Structure 1
Amino acid sequence: MSHRPIPDRRSVLRGTLAASAALTLPTALGTAPALALSGRPEAGWGVQAGDVTCDSGLVWVRSDRPARMVVETSATDSFRTARRWHGPLLGADSDFTGTTRLHGLPAGEQIHYRVLLADPDDPRRTGEPVTGTFRTAPAGRRRDVRFVWSGDLAGQGWGINESIGGYRIFDAMAGLDPDFFLCSGDNIYADGVIPPTQALPDGSLYRNVTTEEKSHVAITLDDFRGNFRYNLLDRALRRFNAQVPNVIQWDDHEVRNNWYPGEVIGSGTPYPAGTRLDDLALRSRRAFSEYFPISAVGGRPDGRIYRVHRHGPLLDVFVLDMRTYRDANSPDDQTADPQGILGAAQLEWLKRELSRSRAVWKVIAADMPLGLVVPDGVEGRPDFEAVAQGDPGAPLGRELQIAELLRHIKHRRITGTVWLTADVHYTSAQHYEPSRAAFKDFEPFWEFVTGPLNAGAFPANALDATFGPDRVFVKAPAASNVSPAEGYQFFGEVDIDGGSGELTVRLREYDGTVLFTRTLRPGRVGQ
């Protein structure tokens, strides 16, 4: 399978490496430095691209002070012939972040861009440009499509450890030259601290880069912003962002472990008693919208995270939000559940958009798995966090909503659906088959799970037989909370062949080693 290489990648990354120099991390102390203000605005947090279509893209940057964002684009990294795009004024109200929409771009081509930050009082005074690149989506189906996915970054107190290469998994993903990266949630762990050190089983220490915002749980807007900034201290992540555009969703740790709307925190936690999770979620959503190039979110309370990412005729990605509209965690055994895990409005949207899709492959990007039993973790009562609750019989609770969706897919003859997720901190492949299931009114499908990016790894979860899953592959540790220094960090790769239309999934380790491969044929069921 051929895939278009990036021309002169060293030149593409030159600006990012320059930005990295402005954020040199003193590994001896393991603390993150403050950015010293100089005479011109600086973009030391790198650049990102997102919302990339056949003819447009969204570019993100953060300044160290008030500045006007300017973006230049070119077909080559020389920028001899460049278009200029005047972006917003970056100020304290957005934590000095901002995005600029690029439009009228050629389909299926490499776009080189550089971001300049100009002094608002003197536009001639600009900082050092920071460069990036991305490929626009193809207009025709003859070009191959490749993307990678994973989730769960800086969890369980395992942060940026320079002695193992920081977030080294991003270098392995970048080496595959993907068209985009799908992050399946838990981009931050707002509910967890990053201590200076953690003990490893061999008696050595895992040494973290630390910041003030990561010394306590996130409560204020500035706390949440600091969590997103923490990850951008990592050089590998900044290099990756400059090369690969993002498709981002969220899950629970962007707010608090296992949260649901309407939840109120009691006493005995690091949070003030009576803290409303809806308030924390609103602050997190605003910081989320500031630190990723996602036009659909905004900072509004009703800003939608669920959406469709259309990547040419071969692929539509349905990015779900299984967190914002769910009902409360419970034993999940009710016989009627109209709210479920998606909410009624999102379910109807998903059914409608799947029916309208003409893409060969319809990837359903879920932030939680379907048939894996994920307990809430609350002692003293059998509450459940995801869809399954361990009862292998007919659908109950949140399973009712998934059953309705699977029935819709079958009866509308929607082909090419594949489920991708992360969340559980190991990697596996499940095939769902009605002949094995208690609920049988659906067509067979695959669900692929991977992660974490850089967090504690955990043993495999039990399966719930309601939808007939068969675990074809799994790699997970025997112990809980295995550190990134010990391995068990995973990502997935999806390749779609422009000629045959075949979709190949590879589950990979943090260094790129292939663990499992499965190729699916377009228009086929029961594969």
Structure 2
Amino acid sequence: MFTTRRQFLGLGLKAGAGLGLMTAAPGIVLAEARRPLLTSGVMTGDVTQDRAILWSRVDRPAQMLVEIADNPTFANARTLQGPTALPTSGLTTKLDITGLGDMEEVHYRVRYAALGDARALSEPTVGRLVMPGQRPRSVRFVWSGDTVGQGWGIDESRGGMRIYDTMLKQSPDFFLHSGDTIYADGPLEETVNLEDGSVWRNRMTEAKSKVAETLEEYRGQYVYNLLDDNLKRFNARVPMFAQWDDHETVNNWYPGEILDDPRYSEKNVSLLAARARRAFLEHMPIRQRPEAPEMIRRRFHYGPELEMFMLDMRTHRAANSTNQQAATDPASALMGQRQVDELIEALKASTATWKIIASDMPVGLVVGDGDNFEAVANADDGLPSGREHEIARLLKAIADHRITNVVWLTADVHYTAAHHYAPERASFKHFTPFWEFVSGPLHAGTFGPNTLDGTFGPQVVFQKAPADGRVNLPPSEGYQFFGQVDLDGDSLALTVTLKDVEGATLHQQVLTPETA
């Protein structure tokens, strides 16, 4: 809800202490201890044609105060009163800002006023975002997954999570985080001895000293990641579209699972997942629908030529199994029938040239879970079975309805690759060729490469992973990856570039749009 400047100042921000002046008037001297402190920077997300979610976190109960402008000097800024940060939300606040459709760039400035003492203001934190616009124009976004995994936390002596700075230098319009936004099941050790004789030194917090089980412990995983200055700078400049995968809760989890892990006193994964989901929704700039506040799957237009369909492959899945069910049934669910039905209808209705399926798990790569399988593929090159039935139904519908220019983006496997799927190489042949691009990790151990299942005819066009079977390589080894997608506003060609932590181009694929 927008307020007038008079109403805004009526909140107690008087005598020059308002956001627009950035500093308190000389006559108002406040002890620093009375001022709220933004602990985790600011970020935006779930951007549409005329609105965006603005997120921040503060160190105590306080009132969120925001200025919005179309210029970095905040001339003629609009002022808003945001939610109150309370312990019940982990001291986070989210404000759904509307009326942004007439802006190309949105500049925002966030402060908090202490409850009971509106003169006690935090220092301001500033950010910006680029709006999609109504006309075709060039768009650039980046994607990847997997942050602070396998024991590799923030080593400030090595520059922290440098890949976020590298991605920021590409000037993307937005960022797709493809899951494993945290590693709630991955405690950190203060030091890790590396093969080269050096020592990795993790910044430590109480939350990262054990696996997360309580709501506060799950919250602490997000707060830890946001101690990194690279990530905070990135978040303040690049809107995020966030997915979740398994490590937001526990490795390879599924609803109804009972853990056999001595690290956990709470063994009921459904209970852990409920706490994990709440922490995820609190700490990510996700727009929560009143009718379905816990929904993670969603879709977005970014301009008229690009639409993104964000899947949820956790909430509705059945138990991990040998993945050989002969037909679609509850035991073979991954997305679930309703999500697949909704995705098919949304793809049919899309008017965008390019349809991006943001999948938190790959289609053809074999991802094991002991003797069972964690993702779609089941290491059987024959006709679809198990979870492959859902993908077969989706691919068949895309072909039957002549839905063109569908591209899959994913992460999860901790290396980078480009895969082309074609019916002439496949056991299941009722689909049109498509590309799947894999990226990650952002800041986690590097693994791979995984084997490909031949059911849908995938072919490795490019991949980069550790050689000689080395596993869990630290970020200092350089095997950290992200992908970049460029949509040309004139030709409408889509260029997908796989890059490393230094920003070097590893592989580039130019896709020309097809017509139905």
TM-score, normalised to structure 2, is: 0.91
Q: Identify the range of structure 1 (426-435 vs 349-358) with the bigger mean alpha-carbon deviation.
A: 349-358
Contact 1:109 / 1:136 at 8 angstroms: preserved in 2?
Answer: yes
Give a deviation string over 1:479-523, Cα, whole Å, max 9, x none: 110110111000000000010100000000011100000010112
362, 371, 388: which one pairs with 1:369?
362
- Distance in 2 of aligned mates of 1:456 and 1:428: 16
Give a deviation string over 1:232-271, Cα, whole Å, max 9, x none: 00000000000000000000000000001110113x5211
Give a deviation string over 1:417-472, Cα, whole Å, max 9, x none: 00000000000000000000000000000000000000000120000000000000
SS at match of 1:153: coil
1:135 and 2:130 are equivalent in the alignment = yes
Match of 1:422 in 2: 411
Match of 1:348 in 2: 341
Identity %: 51
224, 231, 245: which one pairs with 2:225?
231
Match of 1:125 in 2: 120
Gaps of 5+ in 1: 1-14, 19-35
Task: Give the counterpart letter for 1:402 in structure 2.
Answer: I
* Cα deviation, residue 361, structure 1: 0.5
1:201 and 2:190 are equivalent in the alignment = no
SS at match of 1:46: strand
Alignment of 1:401-480 (within 5 A): 401-478=390-467, 479-480=470-471
- Distance in 2 of aligned mates of 1:348 and 1:310: 19
Task: Give the counterpart letter for 1:60 in structure 2.
Answer: W
Task: Give the counterpart letter for 2:144 in structure 1.
Answer: S
Match of 2:34 in 1: 39
* Cα deviation, residue 162, structure 1: 1.0
1:67 and 2:62 are equivalent in the alignment = yes
Contact 1:289 / 1:297 at 8 angstroms: preserved in 2?
Answer: no
Q: Which of structure 1's runs of 4+ aligned residues deviate more than 6 A?
A: none
Match of 1:387 in 2: 376
Match of 2:159 in 1: 165
- Distance in 2 of aligned mates of 1:461 and 1:524: 34
Alignment of 1:475-486 (within 5 A): 475-478=464-467, 479-486=470-477
* Cα deviation, residue 116, structure 1: 1.2
Gaps of 5+ in 2: 1-18, 23-30
Contact 1:108 / 1:139 at 8 angstroms: preserved in 2?
Answer: no
Give a deviation string over 1:118-150, Cα, whole Å, max 9, x none: 122233332111000001112111x11110000
* Cα deviation, residue 524, structure 1: 5.9
Task: Give the counterpart letter for 1:361 in structure 2.
Answer: W
Match of 1:242 in 2: 236
* Cα deviation, residue 199, structure 1: 1.4
Match of 1:307 in 2: 298
Task: Give the counterpart letter for 2:416 in structure 1.
Answer: T
Match of 1:174 in 2: 168
Task: Give the counterpart letter for 2:41 in structure 1.
Answer: G
Contact 2:187 / 2:208 at 8 angstroms: preserved in 1?
Answer: yes
Task: Give the counterpart letter for 1:283 in structure 2.
Answer: R
SS at match of 1:226: helix
Contact 2:34 / 2:114 at 8 angstroms: preserved in 1?
Answer: no
| Structure 1 vs Structure 2 CA RMSD | 1.7
* Cα deviation, residue 41, structure 1: 1.2
* Cα deviation, residue 108, structure 1: 6.0
Task: Give the counterpart letter for 1:221 in structure 2.
Answer: L
* Cα deviation, residue 302, structure 1: 6.5
Match of 2:263 in 1: 270
Match of 1:28 in 2: none
- Distance in 2 of aligned mates of 1:177 and 1:420: 20
SS at match of 1:163: helix
- Distance in 1 of aligned mates of 2:173 and 2:226: 21
Task: Give the counterpart letter for 1:432 in structure 2.
Answer: Y
1:154 and 2:148 are equivalent in the alignment = yes
- Distance in 1 of aligned mates of 2:293 and 2:56: 24
- Distance in 2 of aligned mates of 1:524 and 1:270: 54
Contact 1:50 / 1:245 at 8 angstroms: preserved in 2?
Answer: yes
- Distance in 2 of aligned mates of 1:91 and 1:302: 19
Match of 1:493 in 2: 484
Alignment of 1:274-313 (within 5 A): 275-296=267-288, 303-313=294-304
- Distance in 1 of aligned mates of 2:89 and 2:406: 37
Give a deviation string over 1:158-192, Cα, whole Å, max 9, x none: 00011221010001100111110000000010011
- Distance in 2 of aligned mates of 1:293 and 1:507: 26
Contact 1:196 / 1:210 at 8 angstroms: preserved in 2?
Answer: yes
Contact 1:72 / 1:82 at 8 angstroms: preserved in 2?
Answer: yes
- Distance in 1 of aligned mates of 2:246 and 2:104: 36
Contact 1:54 / 1:108 at 8 angstroms: preserved in 2?
Answer: no
SS at match of 1:406: helix
Contact 2:144 / 2:482 at 8 angstroms: preserved in 1?
Answer: yes
Task: Give the counterpart letter for 2:375 in structure 1.
Answer: A
1:99 and 2:99 are equivalent in the alignment = no
SS at match of 1:38: helix
Q: For the structure 1 residues 297 and 329, does the alpha-carbon distance in structure 2 shift closer, same or farther, using more than 3 Å as the test? A: farther
